[in-house]
Amino acid sequence: MEIKVLGPGCAKCTKTEKLVQEVVRENNVDASVEKVTDMMQIASYGVFGTPSVIVDGEVKCSGKVPKKDEIKSWITQ
Amino acid sequence: MSSHTAQPDPVGKKAHMMMGLTLILGAAATVLWWLIYQSLPGLSRWLTYHLLPLKNGSHLGASVEFFLYDTPKVMMLLVLVVFGVGIIRSFFTPEKTRAFLSGKSELAGNVMAALLGIVTPFCSCSAVPLFIGFVTAGVPLGVTFSFLIAAPMVNEIALGLLYGLLGWKVAAIYLGTGLFIAIFSGWVIGRLKLEHQIEDWVTANPAAAVSLEEEQMTWNDRLVYGWEAVKEIIGRVWIYVILGIAVGAGIHGFVPEGVMASIMGKGSWWSVPLSVTIGIPMYSNAAGVIPVVEALLGKGAALGSVLAFMMSVIALSLPEMVILRKVLKPRLIAVFIGVVACGILFVGYLFNMIL
């Protein structure tokens, strides 16, 4: 599974990445977590709020820090 | 708008009880808030002159009393305002705002964009993705700018602080003139037809807009949303508020009366441009700059100059320009700064003249 956290590096984006990492570890999901900070790349996903979370190319949330159980539901299906 | 009370369902009764409980708790919290707020002046005097060995009328005493009174007052007001605006914001998303603004005619679009800039939840670090999202969805460039100018300048933190420290009149003036600058600047930028000054990659291959399904929120969700906003925003700005008030308290107690009149007073024509020039490269949020501004006003600075200083600090900043440079060519950045600075100058002179 490929998870991408989009965000230029503000506090909310860093927090989102940390949460995603935590959930991945807690649930033993086989996934790579990548932080995308480049504006052109972020824009190419068509989102316009950061932080955004992309799981296997699908936009799961944008413009807010997701809750842990939300993240869990995206990656444990 | 949807709420549990609108459609009766199996859980309707329980939701009703929850709602009732929330209302009672809310009312109790409001009364408690009001009682504490009312007792702050007395409390701060007592703390300063009875608990601490400070003399009434001394420089240090004046500073400490100012600090002990203003800090809890401002924090309490911020909690209230941020919570209220948080609930309003739960009705808006950047997606809805964009859909609403795309294809709007210019002047009406500028007005709507400036108003929506206040209530649409959006973090300043997503200015670039938001800009791209708006422009590629057919929101006119000038209308997009009205949004981008209003969003940081007219915000709940600034309004809450201004109301708390300087009264509702100044808060209303700030709201009105801030909106005016956002509408005016966006309109001018739109008239100048600068679309070719957007970096080419932005419009070259626009990504398909993603539509996330919209969450249905109950009133309870909205209250939680408001409370989350309080935790998030107060958690971020409290240190600036305290630092700002500490600097303000220092000015309040130790800087002689009227000393600012010569520098930022209304008598000197250059005080407004000077305030703007100092303010633009400075980077601070409303929370840090407004307590300082209050203290400057108390020492004889003119409202127009101070307003101009505050607006240029909040609305225009070097880091923001660096971020926007990724999507805007230098000429458009220069026009953006120039037009907004002119708007701020106008507001500054206007208030120095009429007050």
Query: For residue range B247-291, what is the model confidence (pLDDT) as tens digits?
Result: 888 887 787 777 777 777 777 788 889 888 888 877 777 778 888
Closest chain A residue to B325, measured at CA: A39
Share of chain B above pLDDT 90, in %: 18
Alpha-carbon span B166 to B179, nearest angstrom: 19
* CATH dotted code for A2-75: 3.40.30.10
- From the list B312, B261, B244, the residue with the least C-alpha distance to B283 is B312
* Mean pLDDT value across residues B15-27: 80
Residue B207 domain-assigned (yes or no): no
Residue B19 domain-assigned (yes or no): no
Closest chain A residue to B98, measured at CA: A48
Give tens-digit pLDDT for B109-132. 999 999 998 888 776 667 788 888
Alpha-carbon span A49 to A43, nearest angstrom: 10
Integer CA distances (angstroms), A15 to A28, A52, B190, B260, B291, in order: 20, 12, 37, 43, 29
Catalytic residues of A, by residue number, are 10, 13
Residue B314 domain-assigned (yes or no): yes
Structural domain of B168: 25-202+222-355
- From the list B223, B341, B244, the residue with the least C-alpha distance to B290 is B244
Alpha-carbon span A73 to B130, nearest angstrom: 27
Res. B212: pLDDT tops 90? no
Closest CB to B201 among A7, A40, A50: A40
Res. B46: pLDDT tops 60? yes
Share of chain B above pLDDT 70, in %: 91
- Residue B348 — pLDDT band, cuts 50, 70, 90? very high
Which residue ranges of chain A lie beneath pLDDT 70? 77
Looking at residue B186, its pLDDT comes to 94
Size of interface A-B (CB pairs under 8 A): 69
Closest chain A residue to B93, measured at CA: A63
Cα B288–chain centre separation? 12
ipTM above 0.90, yes or no: no
Give tens-digit pLDDT for B156-210. 888 888 888 888 888 999 999 999 999 999 999 999 988 888 888 777 766 666 6
Question: Is the CB of residue B322 less than 8 Å away from at least one CB of chain A?
Answer: no
Answer whether B133 sits within 8 Å of A47, measured CB to CB. Answer: yes
Looking at residue B282, its pLDDT comes to 76
Looking at residue B2, its pLDDT comes to 43
Looking at residue A77, its pLDDT comes to 67
Looking at residue B324, its pLDDT comes to 85
Looking at residue B6, its pLDDT comes to 47
pLDDT averaged over every residue in chain B: 83
Res. B241: pLDDT tops 60? yes
Res. B211: pLDDT tops 80? no
- As to burial, measured by CB atoms within 10 angstroms (0-12 exposed, 13-18 middle, 19+ buried), residue B40 is middle
* Mean pLDDT value across residues B347-353: 89
Looking at residue B187, its pLDDT comes to 94
Res. B5: pLDDT tops 60? no
Residue B74 domain-assigned (yes or no): yes
Residue spans of the domains in chain A: they are 2-75
Q: What are the strands of the beta sheet with A2-6, ordered from one edge?
A: A32-36, A2-6, A52-55, A58-62
Looking at residue B4, its pLDDT comes to 46
Closest CB to B210 among A40, A59, A64: A59
Looking at residue B344, its pLDDT comes to 93
Q: Mean pLDDT: which of A17-21, B20-24, B53-57 is highest?
A: A17-21
Give how many domains chain B has, as a whole number: 1
* Mean pLDDT value across residues B65-82: 87
